[in-house]
Structure 1
Amino acid sequence: MPYLETGPGLRLFYTVTGPGSAPALVFSNSLGTTHRMWDAIASELSAEYRCVRYDTRGHGGSNHGPSPFEIADLADDLAALLDHLDLTRAHVAGLSLGGMIGQAFAARHPARLAGLTLMATTAYMPTREAWEERAGLVRRDGTQAILAATMQRWFTPGFRDAHRSATDAVASEFAAIDRDGYAACCEAIGRMDLRPLLPRVNAPTTVIAGREDPATPLAMAEALHSGIAGSRLVMLSPAAHLLAIEQAERVAAELRRDLARSYPQKSQI
């Protein structure tokens, strides 16, 4: 299995599909999921693009390493992965925490960014106290303590009823997430304020929101859209927080449109 050692005690799992010479598309997962959340979309796009998926610190096959850490550190993990894969530039697609990482990456490593797709995410998510409370609960009782409430936020009732096996698979992965890694990410989100960085995002950017998303509602997407010059805003429905799973076909279509802007000639990276 492919791993990248990015620092003392920190190991990231990643997987790559698609032609080695194709333009790169890197996926960054949400809090409480793994690279598997992108399975359907990566399968759809891997014929044309080099699709890179990885597990954020403390999730799936990646350990959490030293903590505390910040969203900026997670963005630097992404840059280290590009270095490891000899990728000069990439289009980055991130959902929720992954979108926060994408914003920080855009500001910290602008020359590495071909384009950006931000899904169900925000530049600022108060309150710090609420995130610290969630972190404390999960450290004590594990992610099982918030499993039911999380699944209600992540999928619309209609999708949960019609796609039980898919939502059960997500729930199983969530229940297995390392409690300390999840908590450390919660605390990083609580300390985060990326709003001052938004004017520095110069790559072609799309913001995608789910109409039924209670975690990062449309107002947060509109704020991102307003803060990032030249961005476009897409709203999907029915779609709650994990819209990349609930509306995988629509998201893949939007990504194709984004990638055409990022790589107009589909030139080799």
Structure 2
Amino acid sequence: MPYANVNGQTIFFEDTGGSAPAVIFSHGFLLDHEMFAAQVEALGSQFRCVAFDQRGFGRTMANGAPFTYWDSAQDLLGLMRHLEIERATLVGLSQGGFLSMRAALMAPGHVNGLVLISTRAGLDTEEQNNNFRLLDKEWSQNGSANAQQMLSKLLIADDRYAPAWVDKWRSMGKDRLTLPINALISRDDLTPRLGEISVPTLVIHGTDDIAIDVSHGRQLAAGIANAELVEIQGAGHAPPMTHAAESNHALLRFLRGLANAA
């Protein structure tokens, strides 16, 4: 199986390979690389697609030490070095967007463009953070059993796709969420640094996202100088899965524009 030992982690990834322009996909909280299956299928003949599992999710286990999204951004950059990818377009959903923005701030010379989906630069409210703490406590005691209905509504919002993820959550250990939740609630506010992001950026956000309201996507697009916003009507938090055709259309148009400008 494809694993990379980078930044003190053993990272699971899938790579379509080849010499085409690289696109690296970073998934959202409680998801994994498989959430981008429709994008890899649509783009794989034209782009080198890399999708990986972040610390604590999918087949990547956290190494037991606390981490931040800056550390996760280093994981992504380390994976690029491991795969000998000099430059890539970074596609991140939710927490995948958190780390993709940080990677772009840390290593702008290695980033061709950003696609930020269902994400934000700012922080959650204290009430939201307390809800994450309660989720951590509940999960550590009972696993996903009492939380999966709420989580599927919040993160997936589509009964066609939710059962597969509920099955994944059932198989996760009771100790798997503490470190990722700590990273989530302790992250720093990137809003003051959005002006430092100069690469072309596409912001995709569903109008019915109840996890991260579409207003945050609008703020991202307004704060990044070279950004455009695509709102997907009726989509919740995971449009690459639930609204794959609309997401792929916007993504392909953006990526082809980057390739033509190179």
What is the rounded CA distance, in whole Å, between the counterparts of 1:82 and 1:45 in structure 2? Answer: 19
Residue 82 of structure 1, aligned match among 80, 83, 92: 80
**1:23-71 superposed Cα distances (whole Å, 9 cap, x missing partner):** 0010001110111111111011100000001001111110111321101
The letter of the residue matching 1:38 is F
Alpha-carbon distance between aligned partners in 2 of 1:69 and 1:81, rounded to the nearest angstrom: 17
- Give ranges in structure 2 of 5+ residues lacking alignment: none
Residue in 2 that maps onto 1:144: 145
Which residue of 2 is the match for residue 107 of structure 1? Answer: 105
Contact 1:122 1:224 in 2 (8 A): yes
Q: Is 1:196 matched up with 2:192?
A: yes
Determine the C-alpha separation between the residues in 2 that align with 1:200 and 1:137: 39
Cα contact 1:34–1:60 (8 A) shared by 2: yes
Q: CA deviation at 1:178?
A: 4.3
Tell me which of the two structures has the higher relative contact order, counting C-alpha pairs closer than 8 angstroms and 6 or more residues apart: 1
Structure 1 unaligned residues grouped into runs of 5+: none
Residue 145 of structure 1: SS of its match in structure 2? coil
Look up the match of 1:29: 27
Take 2:34 and 2:152, find their aligned partners in 1: how far apart are those partners?
Answer: 16
Give the C-alpha shift of residue 250 in structure 1.
Answer: 1.0
**Would the aligned equivalents of 1:135 and 1:184 in 2 still touch at CA under 8 Å?**
no
Correspondence 1:58-73 to 2 at 5 A: 58-73=56-71
Task: Return the offset for 1:227.
Answer: 1.5
Task: Please give the alpha-carbon distance, in whole angstroms, between the structure 1 residues aligned to 2:22 and 2:241.
Answer: 21
CA RMSD of aligned residues (A): 1.7
8 Å CA contact 1:64–1:180 kept in 2: the answer is no
Residue type of the alignment partner of 2:140: R
Cα distance between partner residues in 1 of 2:11 and 2:209: 29
CA distance in structure 2 between the aligned counterparts of 1:221 and 1:21, rounded to whole angstroms: 32
Cα distance in 1 for residues equivalent to 2:203 and 2:51:
20
When the two structures are superposed, what TM-score results if normalisation uses the length of structure 1? 0.90
The secondary structure found in structure 1 opposite 2:24 is strand
The Cα shift of 1:179 comes to 4.1
Partner of 1:221: 217
Structure 2 residue 164 is the aligned partner of structure 1 residue 169: yes
Residue equivalent to 1:4 = 4
Which residue, 90, 94, 97 being the options, matches 2:95? 97
DSSP 3-state at the match of 2:84: coil
Q: Distance in 2 between matches of 1:40 and 1:248?
A: 6
1:57 counterpart letter in structure 2: R
SS of structure 1 residue aligned to 2:46: coil
Q: How far apart are 1:168 and its partner, in Å?
A: 1.3
Provide the C-alpha distance between the structure 1 equivalents of 2:87 and 2:175, rounded to a whole number of angstroms.
32
Instruction: Please state whether the residue corresponding to 2:175 is helix, strand or coil.
Output: helix
The sequence identity of aligned pairs, in percent, is 28
Compute the displacement of 1:213 (Å): 0.8
Task: State the distance in 2 between where 1:211 and 1:188 align.
Answer: 26
TM-score normalised by structure 2 residue count: 0.92
Structure 2 residue 246 is the aligned partner of structure 1 residue 245: no
* Equivalent position SS for 1:32: coil
> Alpha-carbon deviation of 1:187?
1.4
Q: Deviations over 1:222-252 (max 9, x none)?
A: 1111221121111112211111100111111
CA distance in 2, matches of 1:89, 1:112: 4
C-alpha change, 1:226 and 1:16, in structure 2 (3 Å) is same
SS in structure 1 of the partner of residue 65 of structure 2: coil
